[in-house]
Structure 1
Amino acid sequence: MTPFAARIRQMRRARGVTQKEMAAALGVSPAYLSALEHGRRSPPNWAMVQKIIGYFNVIWDEADELQRLATLSHPRVVVDTAGLPDKATALANLIARHIAELDEEELTRLFDELEGILEKKRKVTE
């Protein structure tokens, strides 16, 4: 499941809405919505994310968060390391080979650590 899929499912269930009802309101098939919620589809495009935001009637921070999650939620990631240092390729391959072995706590720790490193780099360049 992707971060976007988990959030959409949580929002839908919290409101007591079925996939069939939500799919009809969005103008998509229940099969599409099910695949989206299970992370078996690419993230929705901007227009679909906007429909979902409108459907749940969320604004500001929550709408921004849904858009951010959609950009982080491609279930099949391709990492192009051509032209990057050899450590970049080694890291990408290490993650690809072993990500399924990591539990939720380990994934969170690695994610937070990498986000922290990238945030520091952004602040330096600003």
Structure 2
Amino acid sequence: MSAFASHLRQLRKDRGAKKEDIATYLGITPSYYNKFEAGARTPSLEVLVKLKTYFNCSLDELVASEEESTLVDRQLVVSYRDLCDMGFNERLAHGLIKEVYDSYQAEAIPKASLDKKVKFVYKKDVVALCNKLKEQLEEK
């Protein structure tokens, strides 16, 4: 799979978008869109511009092939959307991500996607925060 295909799929997931909705926006069939995410087809410049607009990002962000080694393994981190997908209340998910994210120094912030709008935190840090909150509740 190409870096672009992998990035496009992750961008869609991070934004919580459905393949069908993106295909409709682009004016193509969902099966044709699937070929972009599978790496079987490369979108035309016109489609890339539409994708850029849909995801509200620059073309550079959309097609940049950043070194995989600079990105943290996606399975080690979570985002707000991930917590919501796990069944967390939206306010709780936002609060947990914000609390952990704000505790990081700039160079320690995990980067798991080229999408600069999605905040990621390490799963282990969310678990540690939840355990700390649990202990505080048990003390009362």
The TM-score range, normalised by the shorter chain, is 0.3 to 0.5
**What TM-score does the superposition give when structure 1 sets the normalisation length?**
0.48
More strand by share: 2
More helix by share: 1
**What TM-score does the superposition give when structure 2 sets the normalisation length?**
0.43
